[in-house]
Amino acid sequence: MIDTLFFDAHTHHLPQPQTTAIVSCRMDEKTASSYLQAPFISVSLHPWYLTEENIQSQIDWLVQTIQSDSRIVALGEAGLDKVCDTPFDLQIQAFRKAIELSETYHLPLVIHSVKATEELFALHKKYHPAQAWIIHGFRGKKELATDLIRHGFYLSFGKKYQEKALSIVPADRLLLESDEADTDFPSFYRQVASLRGTSFDSLVENIKENANRLFFNR
């Protein structure tokens, strides 16, 4: 359970003061301080770093780490990216495996999605996941946010976002994150609370409730 003021749903850095954070780590980061010192981890199968040669070793590492490290509270980021150089069929193969592992080990799935919404919806329909699917770093428009929410997704917002999209997300589907950015969480929370027409304290409690339900209730 969260006992700090702020929650960071997805980051690549160690937590700031007063912040509980889930640090996303890939296999090639397993000796980095961010991985070794992180209190909570999401294990990554990122589409940018996939090759035919390393996909199986990455999957093997995911399984071994999930089974052996009690800090693991999520899987991802994983997903689909039509802009990167990784062959799309390889991305689909890896993402299907990430879905299966998410379901097997009862871990929320943190998703990196770029121009692949139709494929994402098709896979969600095919697998009918019991675990939460969370779009991290969501920057899309209100219409896409509405569509994702209708399909059961959660949305996690960082410093760059569309105001109309952030304003319409139901309170029980909302998360906030720093990702790669140097984020001042007190200011960020105040900004988001103002935009959504709620109080700072209400937003803090809302995010904590979502975080505890999704990540710390296993």
Res. 148: pLDDT tops 90: yes
Over the range 72-94, which residues count as b (16 or more CB within 10 Å of their CB) and which as e? bbbbbbbbbbeebebeeeebeeb
AA identity, residue 166: L
Is 179 labelled a binding residue? yes
Start-to-end Cα distance in the chain: 11
Res. 218: pLDDT tops 80: no
Is 77 labelled a binding residue? yes
Is 46 labelled a binding residue? no
The answer to whether residues 176 and 207 touch, using CB atoms and an 8 Å cutoff, is yes
> What is the share, in percent, of the chain residues with pLDDT greater than 70?
100
Distance in angstroms (rounded) separating the CA atoms of residues 18 and 11: 15
The answer to whether residues 171 and 183 touch, using CB atoms and an 8 Å cutoff, is no
Is 10 labelled a binding residue? no
H/E segment holding residue 113: strand 109-114
H/E segment holding residue 175: strand 174-176
Predicted confidence at residue 3, as pLDDT, reads 83
> What is the share, in percent, of the chain residues with pLDDT greater than 90?
98
Tokens (6 digits) for 103: 């379901």
Crossing angle, helix 88-104 and helix 117-127, to 10 degrees? 40
H/E segment holding residue 35: helix 33-37
Domain 6-215: CATH superfamily, name plus number: Metal-dependent hydrolases (3.20.20.140)
| Full-model pTM | 0.96
The answer to whether residues 181 and 159 touch, using CB atoms and an 8 Å cutoff, is yes
User: Higher pLDDT residue, 1 or 208?
Assistant: 208
**Average pLDDT score over the chain:** 96
AA identity, residue 90: L
Task: Give the confidence band of 23 by pLDDT, cuts at 50, 70, 90.
Answer: very high
